[in-house]
Amino acid sequence: EQEVRAAAGLDHPHVTEPLELLEAGPAAACMLGIAADAPVLAMELATDGTLLERAGHMGWPSLRRALSELLQALAHAHARGIVHLDIKPENVLMHEGGVRLADFGLARAVGGETDRICGTPAFMAPEAIRGGELGPATDLYMVGCLAWTMAAARLPFEGSARDILQRQLSDPLPPLDSVVELPEAFEAWTGA
């Protein structure tokens, strides 16, 4: 329901369109491994997988376009007072040659605060880990981690969730060992 509320106010070609909030019937609940009558969000079909499947396989022109479209989607959300808080390759869907930002389940109002960890450890901004005010910079930190991951075909920090969270708070991004050819300024842009 929170995801529907967050995404309902967004109308952008690079944001998935929520179609309907449904209750899972018995067959769907069994297939999805969820409780019967659990809420299920139906959204537009993205036919070409996720960015995760392309990590390390996108040349610079394609990666640049995907990042540009993702940033356009985030600018749209931020201008409407929404921070996504779960930017990661799995939540960037590919459709008809472009990207669609999905999964607004953790979204909050810009300027809101959190007193709990929210997001995916390998991509979380420090304020999302230790608690604090959330804003566009929170999402942009996550975009930097996503870009680094797409270029290196691995996560910036690996290990247990606890280790990753600690390293996100205390360590700079490691030097980028890209598996694809990138412009010289790319590494500095990601913050590495």
A 10 A CB-CB count for 178 gives: 17
- Residues 47/95, Cβ–Cβ less than 8 Å: yes
Indicate which residue of 37, 86, 115, 171 is catalytic.
86
The helix (run of H) or strand (run of E) holding residue 3 is helix 2-8
φ, ψ of residue 132 in degrees (nearest 5): 150, -170
DSSP 89-120: GGGEEEETTEEEE---TT-EETT-EESS--S-
- The whole-angstrom distance between residue 166's C-alpha and the CA centroid of its chain comes to 20
Q: In sequence order, what are the residues at sequence separation of 6 or more whose Cβ sits closer than 8 angstroms to the Cβ of residue 102?
A: 16, 43, 46, 91, 92, 93
Q: Is the dihedral of CA 100, 10, 76, 124 positive or negative?
A: negative
Does residue 86 carry a catalytic annotation? yes
| Token pair in block for residue 152 | 């290196």
Known catalytic residues?
Answer: 86
